[in-house]
Amino acid sequence: MGYNAVIIDGSSIALDLGGSSVTMGTGLVVSRGANNSVTNGSIDFGGNDRLMLVEGLATDGLTVEATLAGTAGASLVKSGSAKLTLSGMNTGLAGPALIDQGTLKITNASALGASGATDGTRVSSGAILEIDGTGMTITEPLTVINGGQYDLANNKWPGAVRHTSTGTNSLTGTIVLETTHMHRLPLVTIGVDSGTLVVAGAINRSVDFINAASSLTKYGAGIMELTGATVNTLNGVLTVADGTLILNKPGAGQALPSGSLVVGDSRGGFRTDERVEYGTGAQCRPVGKQRDHHPFRRFRRQGLRRQHGGPDDL
């Protein structure tokens, strides 16, 4: 079965492919409306560039449960303000992905396709990669630009990478931080609304901003754990604005080789706590706890110590 384009114009439309494989003459998939879906089959883009335009409100626009495939040399671009959800096992989808606008939510570890060095995903300024699943190990390399979409109602950045699952998921690919803010520290955010996000890959500053400090802010009430043996090149300010950060890099691994750790952002309600812990299980202990009715607390790397004395491998 072949189509030049797939265009869904309306809301609550379920396109059932009937178990067939659809070969695309172009790479255009358009959804105009809310709560649309494509299920029960596969879409093969071949060597075409893939534009998935999802228009409408920022709430759920299109869910693609069908698997996606395509050869290397072409890109998948998510455009439009409405949310696109990919839930298929898209291991046959080669090439990079670009989240240009809105939110791309994944509920499958391989939803973004192949995860080689040239198959990474780029999250543009103002866009969001949302992770919602349980027990997923996501090997995709990520490049994250700025802080996602600002939440005016809560006066914060919910995260350019946002974990909304109540379970535990892991990112094992390299995460590169970029910024378009040339006159201040890079504003890159990761949000963990709930559950636990384990970041086992290296968090690095962009080679395009090699002389600039690279900073990261963690938002959300959930837990983010920094682990893995690779040393991060994050060298600016690591801020825990909400929730818990666990520093758990083994051996010579370092989460923050230079720079400062800031716990709290002097915003939020009375007795709102942010925590930083070492390790896991019984050996965890608070490094710093910040109540938001006090000014934020800053720790220099040299001032942090392990529970048993020696300097911590941040």
At 46-70, the pLDDT tens digits run 998 899 999 987 788 999 999 999 9
* pLDDT tops 90 at residue 38: yes
- Is residue 253 within 8 A of residue 246, CB to CB? The reply is no
* Closest CA relative to residue 69, chosen from 91, 99, 36, 38: 91
Show the tokens assigned to 235: 């060298």
* pLDDT tops 50 at residue 105: yes
User: What is the spatial distance between Cα 203 and Cα 298, in angstroms, rounded to a whole number?
Assistant: 21
Mean pLDDT computed over 29-55? 94
* pLDDT tops 90 at residue 112: yes
What region, left, alpha or beta, does residue 131 occupy, with left being phi > 0 and alpha being psi -120 to 50 degrees? beta
At 260-308, the pLDDT tens digits run 888 876 555 444 567 788 765 333 444 444 434 333 444 444 333 333 3
Mean pLDDT computed over 188-205? 94
- Residue 226: the pLDDT is 94
User: What is the spatial distance between Cα 225 and Cα 275, in angstroms, rounded to a whole number?
Assistant: 12
At 219-270, the pLDDT tens digits run 999 999 999 988 888 878 888 988 999 989 887 778 887 778 888 765 554 4
Ordered DSSP codes for the chain: -EEEEEEEESSS-EEE-TTPEEEEEEEEEEEESSSEEEESSEEE-TTS-EEEEEESSSSEEEEE-SEEEB-TT--EEEESSSEEEE-S--TTB-S-EEE-SSEEEE-STTTT---STTS-EEE-TT-EEEE--SS-EE---EEEETT-S-BTTTTB---SEEE--SSEEEE-S-EEEE-S-TTSS--EEEEE-SSEEEE-S-EEE-GGGTTS---EEEESSSEEEE-SSSPP---SEEEE-SEEEEE---TT--S-SSSEEEE--S-SSTT-EEEEEESSGGG--EEEEEETTS--EEEEGGG-B-TTSSBP--
Show the tokens assigned to 290: 């910040």
CA dihedral 114, 115, 116, 122 (to 10 degrees): 110
- Residue 207: the pLDDT is 65
* pLDDT tops 50 at residue 183: no
- Residue 158: the pLDDT is 81
- Residue 157: the pLDDT is 74
At 138-157, the pLDDT tens digits run 999 999 998 888 777 777 77
Domain ranges of the chain: 1-102, 120-308
Q: Are strands 273-278 and 286-291 parallel, antiparallel or unpaired?
A: antiparallel
- Residue 3: the pLDDT is 77
Q: How many Cα atoms are found within 13 Å in the side-chain-facing hemisphere of 146?
A: 14
- Residue 165: the pLDDT is 97
**What percentage of the chain reaches a pLDDT higher than 90?**
53
What does pLDDT average to over the chain? 82
Show the tokens assigned to 35: 């709560």
* pLDDT tier at 211, thresholds 50, 70, 90: low
- Residue 307: the pLDDT is 34
